[in-house]
A = this chain, B = another copy of it.
Amino acid sequence: MNAGVSQSSERLVRVPLGDRSYDILIGPGLIARAGREIAARVKGRRAAIITDEHVAPLYLEALTESLASEGISVVSLTLPAGEKTKSFDHLITVCDKILEARIERNDPVIALGGGVIGDLTGFAAGIVRRGVRFVQVPTSLLSQVDSSVGGKTGINSRHGKNLIGVFYQPDLVLADTGVLDTLSEREFRAGYAEVAKYGLIDKSDFFAWLETNWKDVFAGGGSRIEAIAASCQAKSDVVAADERENGQRALLNLGHTFGHALEAATGYDSRRLVHGEGVAIGMVLAHDFSARMNLASPDDARRVERHLKAVGLPTSMADIPGGLPPAEVLMESIAQDKKVKSGKLTFILTHGIGRSFVADDVPASEVLSFLREKQQT
């Protein structure tokens, strides 16, 4: 593991998926250079930028100018910020905007924003004309290291999160690390949970490196770029091996089954819990549950908890303000989660740090007892 050693100012990670392969560029100043990078990879000369009301004032003008300087004309749409934007209503609005702009198959639709904008826009790009070109310009740490890479797109349903969508790979990801300086501390930390996740899945060296170097990652500069590149590389490896989640890709859901249930339980209210925070708590729960099942040492669960707590992330259900519904309600949400096959619960469990695995026959009764105990402590 040489994370942190390289101090170059820009990194490139290639996602190798045959004729759907693409580059992830990581470094400062990429929005200003977006026009050139997009024009080099996409034929069309009309673009639609989809963004949200938080991001638009900061970067929409710079991105539009960069595209214009390459002769690409731009139409843009600014949506409300927040998880509730991942809805059918907003999907229809985005599709209509893309069609109104007469975007054709070779023209790019560009997601400028965090995971919500990326997931929604990618879904729209995947279904308008049965697929147009798609570029991700992720503006949060979470979306740079996770949602912008790998082609999962979608919206939420009243039955659960991300239940409607398509696999649709982008043609390019531009992770401009300069934009991360404008994130709130809380938002950066939430993204960091996904960075730590890659170490916990199968890279114990990377997790140990993060335990030592996390302050540098938070401070910015080379260590931050290195941590993002290592995360994108880790995700790219998993996606290249199992694009459509028939097996090992499910490892990326470490902490997510519990996390999604907690997000649902808080009504996707970002004042109470954001996705990365749910994942942080979910990862501690996954390690604790694995220990309870005698699969892993409780010491590993404590080590995970200690690190996430050190960076300021919530690590237990009690850390969520406003209280939670009973364990039974959380279970109901887990059962409807999409990682369920033929009635049995599929969970990502672990034998220890960096040794996670897909368990596809976890008894629901054990999970329920575990949640009850956790809620009482």
Contacts and interface: CB of A to CB of B under 8 A. Distances in A.
Interface stretch (A136-144, A164-172, A278-286): A164-172
Interface in A111-136: 126-131
B165 A338 contact: no
B166 A104 contact: no
Interface string A39-66: 0000111000000000000000000000
Given A104-B342, A159-B100, A126 B95 contact: no
Number of copies of this kind of chain in the complex:
2
A164 B341 contact: no
Interface in A18-51: 43-45
B106 A341 contact: yes
A152 B166 contact: no
Interface string A82-115: 0000001000100110011010111000000000
A81 interface: no
A107 to B, nearest CB: 9
A105 B163 contact: no
A340 interface: yes
Contacts of A100: 159
A166 B244 CA distance: 16
A157 interface: yes
B159 A96 contact: yes
Nearest to A160: B99
A338 B129 contact: yes
B157 A341 contact: no
A251 B234 CA distance: 42
Interface residues of A, number: 36
Contact of A127 (B44, B166, B342): B166
A166 B164 contact: no
A154 interface: yes
A244 B45 CA distance: 22
Given A88-B92, A95-B157, A99-B159, A166 B130 contact: yes
Contact of A166 (B88, B102, B126, B163): B126
Contact of A99 (B105, B131, B163): B163
Nearest to A340: B104
A45 B342 CA distance: 8
Given A157-B95, A157-B99, A159-B100, A164 B106 contact: no
Given A129-B163, A152-B130, A167-B130, A342 B44 contact: yes
A176 B197 CA distance: 51
Given A100-B159, A130-B167, 4 more contacts: A99-B159, A104-B342, A105-B341, A130-B154
Nearest 9 CB-CB pairings of A with B: A99-B159, A129-B338, A130-B165, A127-B164, A88-B92, A95-B164, A130-B167, A127-B166, A130-B166
